[in-house]
Amino acid sequence: MIDRYTRPEMGAIWTEQRKYETWLEVELAVVEALAEMGIVPAEDAAVIRERASFTVEAVRERERVTDHDVAAFVDVVAASVGEAGRWIHYGLTSSDVLDTALALQISQAAPLLVGGARALRDALARRAREHAHTLCVGRTHGVHAEPTTFGIKLAGFAFEADRNLRRLEHAFEQAATGAISGAVGTYAATGPELEERVMRKLGLRREDVSTQVVPRDRHAELLQAVALAGAGLERLATEMRHLQRTEVREVEEPFRAGAQKGSSAMPHKRNPIVSERICGIARLLRGYQQAALENVALWHERDISHSSVERVAIPDALILLDYAQHLALRVVEGMRVYPERMRRNLDATNGALYSQRALLALVAAGRTRDDAYRIVQRAAQRAFDGESHFRELLAAEAPELDLDAVFDPAPFVRHADAILARLEAFDR
């Protein structure tokens, strides 16, 4: 992933240096387990632990000869140890190292992404409580529908963020799975006991049935959870973009006045660029999910058609989601909310958005539903077209109505506290 979209802590997990460090961690755990099982002499295991090393440059140079990255790595590490280096990679196949090390890297990324998801959920919950009673327009099909509150709107995003948090937690947990089962996954060279010992040392679960590779449905599930989390961020960002339009202007992204420039040509511009960036990133995440799904079906016990895909897709997807989460957090924590503009927008249809209240009042007063609907529809659409205020038109069409009750906004706010009380589940 390009530096522009990479946060340093997450990016560090996916460097070439870290990748080889993780490979070495797996190789050393195997040597230690073999020593415990009496296969590797204790003194050789101690020498390996003390001396085993590599440089990225040395591995690259050796790979020019071997045309095989794991073989090149093993050669370099074994040479750094000396005679005892013969025990490096003993009984292993490349996938034992690659898949187990990948599980370690995924496990290292998990706290960052799960923590980011939790921080976003909590920020949304805080802003939802802040605006529990901030009346605004609710829209369906992009058109004014009925009043709601901005707090209720944000609460919906908070619960979606919580669902994405739970999905990520589960996906990372099941993806933290390794295998030390040897060629074709038969354990013929070492036996299941070695795998059990190594996974315990590394803090990973054992694959139930390895076919030399860890089945790729695990990685597909992870990238599916990542893509869903990205889609949730996109929904939030899309809402922000609509609410920041000049004709609406109920909410704006944070903007650093005096420093930030919204346009190279138009100094007045304050564009929702962060939200737009999030939407673009979500498209990439969906693409990586598709690639991960296509990786599931490998030939027989294994092939390596998945390898080239994963070298790009898994690091990029996790780096991008981490970055997008922090963009969204910045937007939520710093967004400017304009309650007065929300109030003015509530009047844009001349009161027509109270049509359901009028319909129900007429039905309660004895009109048939169809008659009531036609009366209200005529008046509401004339108000929508700007002929007069809905209240005045209704007074002429249905004088029996209690118009103060019909146009009371309190019912749209009344249950906000009860809805937002559900956010307390996050505090437990």
Helices (H) and strands (E) in the chain, counts: 18, 6
pLDDT for 256 equals: 79
User: What stretches in the chain show pLDDT beneath 50?
Assistant: none
In CATH, what class is 352-406?
mainly alpha
The C-alpha atoms of residue 412 and residue 147 are separated, in whole angstroms, by: 6
Continuous segment of H or E residues that includes residue 336 = strand 336-337
- Catalytic residue numbers read 141, 263
Listed residue (8, 22, 15) closest to 112, CA to CA: 8
pLDDT for 264 equals: 64
Backbone phi and psi for residue 212, each to the nearest 5 degrees, phi listed first = 85, -25
85, 77 in Cβ contact below 8 A?
Answer: yes
90, 34 in Cβ contact below 8 A?
Answer: yes
pLDDT for 198 equals: 98
> Looking at this protein, which amino acid is placed at residue 181?
S
The CATH number given to 1-90 is: 1.10.275.10
CATH, domain 92-348+413-428, list 1.10.580.10, 2.40.30.10, 1.20.200.10, 3.40.109.10: 1.20.200.10
pLDDT for 116 equals: 98
Structural domain boundaries in the chain: 1-90, 92-348+413-428, 352-406
421, 155 in Cβ contact below 8 A?
Answer: no
> Do 92-348+413-428 and 1-90 have the same topology in CATH?
no
Listed residue (340, 296, 311) closest to 136, CA to CA: 340
Listed residue (197, 201, 243) closest to 342, CA to CA: 243
pLDDT for 267 equals: 76
Listed residue (231, 161, 281, 262) closest to 253, CA to CA: 262
CA distances from 27 to 18, 98, 186, 211, 414 (A): 14, 10, 19, 20, 62
**CA torsion sign, 236 to 239 to 138 to 130?**
positive
pLDDT for 427 equals: 78
pLDDT for 415 equals: 87
Residues 6+ apart with CB under 8 A from 282: 227, 230, 231, 233, 234, 237, 324
Residues 6+ apart with CB under 8 A from 297: none
Angle between helical axes of 192-202 and 16-36 (0-180°, round to 10)? 130
The residue count for the chain: 428
